[in-house]
Each structure stands twice: as structure tokens, then as C-alpha cells.
Amino acid sequence: MKAEKVRNLTDAELKHQERDLADQLFKLKFQLNMGQTESLKKIRGLRKDIARIKTIVREQELAAQKSENR
């Protein structure tokens, strides 16, 4: 998922997307531990997508705080 695409989402969509990605990551980690899959690339990609979403949410929070302080 590209950062520009994430920046265009609303707060509710971002939270929903983060929850979905976290669920997918949990399922993949579970499968990995059970020996059913070896999709390390997908796990790495999901972790990066979650981090990207969290970073953009934090940027938006800081921008909102900055505009309130003016």
C-alpha cells in the first residue's frame, strides 16, 4: 500500500484498515508457527503497511494539535 493512498483515507477508514492488517498478520504468524506457510515476504509487507498507517495517523494528530495551538 502506497503512502499517498493511505493519506487520502479518513480516520475511520485508517482504523479499519489497521485492524484488518493486524488480523491478517496474526493469522499469518499463526500459520507460520504451525508450519503451514512460509510467506515471510507477506508478513514483512503487512508489518510495513501497519507501520505506515500508524505513522500517517500520528502525523495527522500532530498537525491537528499544531493547528489548535495557533
Domains of the chain: 3-69 (1.10.287.310)
Nearest Cα neighbor of 63 from 55, 28, 15, 27 is 55
pLDDT of 49 reads 95
Query: Which stretches of the chain drop beneath a pLDDT of 50?
Result: none
pLDDT of 69 reads 82
Angstrom distance (rounded) from CA 5 to CA 19: 17
Whether the predicted model's global pTM rises above the 0.75 cut:
yes
| 49 grid coordinates | 503497511
pLDDT of 20 reads 97
